[in-house]
Amino acid sequence: MELFDLLRKRRSIRRFQKKPVPRELVERLLEAAFLSPSSFNRRPWHFIVVDDREKLKALSKAKLGASGLATAPLAIVVTADESRSDVWVEDASIAAEHIQLAAFDLGLSSFWVQIRNRIHDEGKPAEDYVRGLLGIPSNYRVLCIIGVGYPAEKKPPHGDEVFEWEKVSHNSFGQPWKKPGDSSVQ
């Protein structure tokens, strides 16, 4: 798919068909993640592919806003070794977004479940819950979980309302970026 078409049409999907994601597509998603840029090319990430139904159900209870994982046939847990990079959050975030874009390109849908800085319950970090569930070593931080599958809901592509030109400055903060023919901007 043409890149800008894909960027417009990709939406977060949180309800999925039962149909499993074929193994070759799972590997394409991982290839997309491995193609990410990273600071100093340190590549601190480690991805955990989860397709075990009981584990997916347990992951859906990681925090509020994770329940869509209960119907997802696949989740990719994005972790990174924080001892390898002080900017592991950025590196892992780019990899996660590569997975989301690749999923859409492959006819799949996805959504991001934030784990870092989120609470499971009674003050327990969602990271600790996921770490315990999947046996993740303590030097690996858990950024997010990408739920993936064939969509069971439809969403329209993004419209032009996402283009918030007022959030763009030219040369200094607050100096408007002028669009040709825009009479509302002095």
Ligand X SMILES: Cc1cc2nc3c(=O)[nH]c(=O)nc-3n(C[C@H](O)[C@H](O)[C@H](O)COP(=O)(O)O)c2cc1C
CA nearest to 101, candidates 2, 185, 17: 2
Distance CA 32, CA 95 (A): 8
Closest distance to ligand X from the beta carbon of 112 (Å): 4
Give the residue with the Cβ less far from ligand X, 36 or 176.
36
Question: No. of H helices and E strands in the chain?
Answer: 5, 6
Which CB atom, from 14 or from 98, has the smaller least distance to ligand X? 14
Least separation in angstroms between CB 104 and ligand X: 10
In angstroms, give the least distance from the CB of 157 to ligand X: 10
User: In the bound complex, what is the minimum distance in angstroms from residue 13's beta carbon to ligand X?
Assistant: 8
Contact 126, 62 (CB under 8 A): yes
Instruction: Please identify, using beta-carbon distances, which residue of 5 and 182 lies nearer to ligand X.
Output: 5
The pair of structure tokens assigned to 69 is: 């994982």
**Identity of the residue, 136 or 145, whose beta carbon is nearer to ligand X in the bound complex:** 145
The residue ranges that bind ligand X (CB under 6 A) are 11-12, 14, 65, 68, 111-114
CA distances from 126 to 141, 146, 162, 177 (A): 11, 15, 31, 40
